[in-house]
Structure 1
Amino acid sequence: MLARSSLARIASQPSPLGAAPKTARNMATLREIELRLKSVRNIEKITKSMKMIASTKLAKAQRAMNSGKQYGLANSEIFQHAPSEAPAKRKLFIVVSSDKGLCGGIHSSVSKATRRAIADTENPVDADSPIMVIGDKSKSQLARVVSKNLAMSFNQIGRDIPTFADAAGVADLVMKSNVQYDSIVIVYNKFISAVSYEPAIIEVVNENSLKESAGFRAYEMEDDVTRDLAEFSLANAIYAALVEGHACEQSARRNAMDNASKNAKDMIDRLTMQYNRGRQAAITNELVDIITGASAL
């Protein structure tokens, strides 16, 4: 009985100065939830703003894509009337992506398509085919797998709507490079709709293949004509791939920001419910303490 009375006196003594109350853990948890709610709300505002910006840019990108597709159609007509008689033994892959992220699987899509194209080639020489990349994102992805194949990379292209001057500059550097190839394969994202895209391939023959085709041998032309036509056809194909890839990027960024906003909203709802439950539990505990103290008195 003496021991019990001593324990009762000790338990009834007030807490020492500076000691944390019993609900300190709950209050700290509520404070953490409140700070997390604030940060998630800020993230939701950012993703919604980025979605609106991407939606505005998508309309402009689609208009540029529709006009840029005419360049690709002109190229396809040329190569249909002048097909290459000998199959290409060594191909140069030009991968079209961009330097920006937060746009879903745009960059990984063309990177995977390039790796599949190299792995599925029947000619073993094509396993060492050179690769040129437009954009830092796909470059970093391909550098981890086929770093020995990377011959050249381009950046700061497509920050805004791509122009023909950008494509002509890339084509000029490709033609002046010392890379040996029989044909050029351009890997890019094909725009299907505002919510879907798929990787596609455009093949462009080089100057020698144009000279050896039956359609060009029927006419007497100087070497400069064939060389200029090959470079112009390459610039056309790159420009068509750039504008279509840019439209796919804006569409994917809008969809990614829309999904991020929805996820943030779901997280806000869960955190709000968790905060309300914790706050209600803390108030209930305080009421129990007050009622218990009043009953003891």
Structure 2
Amino acid sequence: MEADLAEEAQRTMADPGERGVVADERLRLVLLCAHPALPREAAAALTLRLVLGVSTEDLARLFLVRTSTMAARLTRARKRLAGESFAVPSGAELADRVRVVSDVAYLAFTAGYAPGSGPDVLRADVAAEAIRLVRVLRDVLPEPVSEIDALLALMLLQHSRREARVDDDGRLVLLPDQDRGRWRRDEITEAIKLLTPLTDAPAAPYLLQALVAAEHAIAATSDDTDWSRIVARYDELLRLSDSPVVRLNRAVAVGEADGPLAGLAALDRLTEAELPGHRLPAARAELLARAGRPDAAREAYDAAIARCANEAERSHLEQRRAVLPT
């Protein structure tokens, strides 16, 4: 079965198949990887590895584990699928797997939108393929599912900024500094259209994240962003699904809404054990710099730079550190 999975993965990665049909080759492989015999994280990791070719190292960063741990997890997942069919399930089983696949698709999108390693600011092809996967999911389902519509809106809103996230020299451009004229308005319009019927829908993780992204999309300039409303969305999200990443994003939003000291106080509730990697010290460094504490900011930037495996992000952090007052 491991050989069959590898062969199927090679074939489907080379030939994406027709769009919007249940027989889509990648969808069949994804649905197999979302088999109930696998824990959800193992299903997600195996799908990202086999279907979209995300490296084991990047998967380890996405799931906040060691590379060796991820490699072992992938091996166990392949073995647990031994003898399972590539056939597309139906009914309640299909619905259950679709929920797993939606989580997988967003993890895949994240791997393209913010690669954990390598020279690229983004991998637009991986992100676009994740969006395609969600469009396929919407076609598979017998009736609309609001959280999948919200997921598609979230991905479109984030993906719409891809051309503005990189300057002409290939350097990372953060959201406040982006040329909003380069944002893809057609994708933003589609996303807002998807979200409009969901304004009164029950709070759900992808919906709340999409509403945060929409706040950025509807603001004419960075200064027009309603950060207090974004903080409120993150508060709702924490009540639904508390996680270190959500708390980090909320702390950054608090720093924008209420000032850097408030943001730092929110960051103090996070530990490096909960959120390994460079993002926590990078956020702390930025807030310390804004708070007028350059020595502490320099120390935090050093920690972030040492832990950052993405070359474009590391270069950005080095530039930010270099302009700190002495």
* TM-score greater than 0.5 by the shorter chain: no
User: Rg bigger for which structure?
Assistant: 1
Shorter-chain TM-score bucket reads under 0.3
Relative CO higher for 1 or 2, CA cutoff 8 Å, sep ≥ 6?
1
